[in-house]
Copies of this chain bind each other. A is one copy, B any other.
């Protein structure tokens, strides 16, 4: 009767190999087909089959580069929905000490698609609100006059950022904190800049990011974020 297309999207995500690949892609970076196959523990043929299926469904995009094919999440909205899944997905059973510390690290700070999430991401958004750099404006954050100066001093040229044809600065819900953090082009720019400054570093294996010693200092001075403990 009331055949909904919700089922179609869900059926894509429901397969464990595909879900695994999507989870990998949630780091916001592009990955090759064979890399994704390896991460999901399947043969390249099978991965190819799944990837084309997900591409057809509009969940991911492909970019050819020589004999490699790079795959990435289609856009922010897809990433957002994937993230929202974690809201109701039962918490992962922690089996090992290693997993436990990984989980802790992820909850503290991770990338969500192309911006910063986790406790650190939420603290950052909070700090920017509190100091009047950003203001809440319906679904989005808005940069105040004071904010324009702030980002300039931080080394983020807003003119360039706002030229990209995507939503500039919207609020993204954080599954571990259940609070919003900063997303959109501005969120991406901030993440990039923090990495560039050497304040945080991506962890190669997963979406977690690590705060460096300079980072602790810089985050304290620039944003007033004091963090006594963090994940491994």
Which residues of A pack against B, CB within 8 Å?
A: 1-16, 18-20, 22-24, 39-41, 58-59, 77-78, 80-82, 84-90, 92, 136, 138-139, 173, 178-180, 206
- Name the B residues within 8 Å of A2 (CB-CB): 20, 23-24, 39, 206
User: Is A90 a contact partner of B5 (Cβ separation < 8 A)?
Assistant: yes
How far is it, in angstroms, between the C-alpha of A86 and the C-alpha of B15 when the chains are bound? 19
Beyond A7-B16, A9-B89, 18 additional contacts (C-beta under 8 Å) are A1-B39, A1-B40, A4-B16, A4-B19, A4-B23, A4-B89, A6-B13, A6-B22, A6-B86, A6-B89, A7-B18, A7-B19, A10-B10, A10-B19, A78-B88, A84-B84, A138-B179, A138-B180
Known contacts A2-B20, A4-B92; decide if A10 and B85 are in contact (CB<8 Å): yes
How far is it, in angstroms, between the C-alpha of A77 and the C-alpha of B3 when the chains are bound? 23
User: Is A139 a contact partner of B16 (Cβ separation < 8 A)?
Assistant: no
Known contacts A23-B2, A89-B6; decide if A180 and B139 are in contact (CB<8 Å): yes
- Name the B residues within 8 Å of A19 (CB-CB): 4, 6-7, 10
User: Is A14 a contact partner of B24 (Cβ separation < 8 A)?
Assistant: no
A82 contact from B6, B18, B20, B180, Cβ within 8 A = B6
Chain B: CB-nearest residue to A138: B179
Known contacts A14-B11, A87-B80, A180-B138; decide if A20 and B1 are in contact (CB<8 Å): yes
- Name the B residues within 8 Å of A40 (CB-CB): 1
Chain B: CB-nearest residue to A24: B2
How far is it, in angstroms, between the C-alpha of A160 and the C-alpha of B186 when the chains are bound? 42
- Name the B residues within 8 Å of A139 (CB-CB): 173, 178-180
Give the most central of A11, A20, A58, A85: most B CB within 10 Å.
Answer: A85
Closest 6 CB pairs of A and B: A11-B14, A7-B19, A10-B13, A10-B14, A14-B14, A5-B89
Chain B: CB-nearest residue to A16: B7
